[in-house]
Copies of this chain bind each other. A is one copy, B any other.
Amino acid sequence: MSKSVFVGELTWKEYAARVAQGDCVMLLPVGALEQHGHHMCMNVDVLLPTAVCKQVAERIDALVLPGLQYGYKSQQKSGGGNHFPGTTSLDGATLTGTVQDIIRELARHGARRLVLMNGHYENSMFIVEGIDLALRELRYAGITDFRVVVLSYWDFIRDPAVIEALYPEGFLGWDIEHGGVFETSLMLALYPHLVDMDKVVDHPPATFPPYDVFPVIPERTPACGTLSSARGASREKGELILRVCTEGIAAAVQEAFATPS
């Protein structure tokens, strides 16, 4: 049996031994099943944070929990909207409850360090609520040393030189990167068989008014579902992103758990 960074591929004894070391970091990818345009599969938001988690885990000797496969409802300005067929989303309370339950269980195992790596923009606040409710419960149980880090892996692309390399014609913001150059490049680097660059629809970046309307007005989203064109994506960019994210996150995680709680 191979030594895996994936918790699901360990026996409980192997896992218990790791947790018993006291400082083992658990990484939980939090994704979604969501349309990503005509050129890309729908589990991008699971695959990408899982891949980043795997690389980070190998680097800092952490473990990766089975990723959450479904996320919060796609919003028009960040994911196109929840009206697309295929996009399969949870109510906020369900996502929050899932995070809360997992933290409660990890604490029971003896783990005290968790990183939630988000791959779907809309998940963030429901993850935060799950953490808050879980830590509240843990305090009731007398556990006060459980620390959680939350991050969205794309937030680690901060170096202007990297942004310039990725977006030589100018960066337009993470909000419209849904199915665009960023995610597509990463998929090309990691899962090229799940991308079909010939199907990329080359449209101008989506623009939205400074408000949201519900029920969603589908016509405001580009018909293909992406919010910016993936035309500029490349495997090389994906490899750059992966390297920068992995290095940045590995360092951040170590820093975050080094500070005393």
Asked whether A164 is an interface residue with its Cβ less than 8 Å from the other chain, the reply is no
| Residues of B contacting A85 in the complex (Cβ-Cβ under 8 angstroms) | 12, 15-16, 19, 108-110
Asked whether A132 is an interface residue with its Cβ less than 8 Å from the other chain, the reply is yes
Asked whether A189 is an interface residue with its Cβ less than 8 Å from the other chain, the reply is no
- CB pair A91 B129 closer than 8 Å: yes
With A8-B41, A214-B148, A215-B261 given, is the CB distance from A88 to B70 under 8 Å? no
| Residues of B contacting A126 in the complex (Cβ-Cβ under 8 angstroms) | 92, 125
- CB pair B8 A37 closer than 8 Å: no
Asked whether A101 is an interface residue with its Cβ less than 8 Å from the other chain, the reply is yes
State how many angstroms separate the Cβ of A66 from the closest Cβ of chain B. 4
| Residues of B contacting A92 in the complex (Cβ-Cβ under 8 angstroms) | 92-93, 96, 125-126, 129
With A125-B92, A129-B91 given, is the CB distance from A66 to B69 under 8 Å? yes
> What is the interface size of chain A, counting residues whose CB is below 8 A from a CB of the partner?
99
- CB pair A69 B70 closer than 8 Å: no
With A66-B43, A195-B1 given, is the CB distance from A259 to B217 under 8 Å? yes
> Which residues of chain A in 1-58 are interfacial with respect to chain B, using CB atoms and an 8 Å cutoff?
1-2, 4, 6-13, 15-16, 19, 33, 35-43, 46
- CB pair B66 A135 closer than 8 Å: no
Please name the residue on chain B nearest to A35 by beta carbon: B12
| Residues of B contacting A40 in the complex (Cβ-Cβ under 8 angstroms) | 11
Cα(A171)–Cα(B34), bound, Å: 34
- CB pair A101 B70 closer than 8 Å: yes
- CB pair A11 B42 closer than 8 Å: yes
| Residues of B contacting A59 in the complex (Cβ-Cβ under 8 angstroms) | none
